[in-house]
Amino acid sequence: MTLGTAGGSGWRLQFRYAFAHDSSGTQDDYVRVLVNGSVVFVDRGQPVNRNATWQLVDVSLAAFAGQQVQVRVEANDGASASLVEVAVDDVRIFRGR
């Protein structure tokens, strides 16, 4: 979608996500969100057990005003194979005040 016109303010990306991993998690495990190829959000694994809980993320898209945007979600089980569980829901792009 195209975010209005250049210089427009208030554009935001919101979504909920859950990221679960076990104690074999590392920084090479991650979930991230890219807008037009730029990383706007990342959460990396750690060597602890983490249960999946929904969390809200709110990112300003002001830098992309006037552009057509493509949002991409990536999840990665990097380094050695480990438990990586990711869910994303309620993705919204809107113009707030």
90's CB contacts (< 8 A; 6+ apart) are 14, 15, 16
Query: Does the footprint of Ca ion cover residue 82 (CB under 5 A)?
Result: yes
Contacting residue, 15, 29, 30, 64, with Ca ion by CB under 5 A: 29
Query: Does the footprint of Ca ion cover residue 61 (CB under 5 A)?
Result: no
Contacting residue, 15, 19, 35, 77, with Ca ion by CB under 5 A: 77
In whole angstroms, the minimum distance from the beta carbon of 81 to Ca ion comes to: 6
Neighbours of 3 (CB within 10 A): 23
Pair of tokens at residue 1: 């979608």
Residue appearing with tokens 């990306």: 13
In whole angstroms, the minimum distance from the beta carbon of 17 to Ca ion comes to: 18
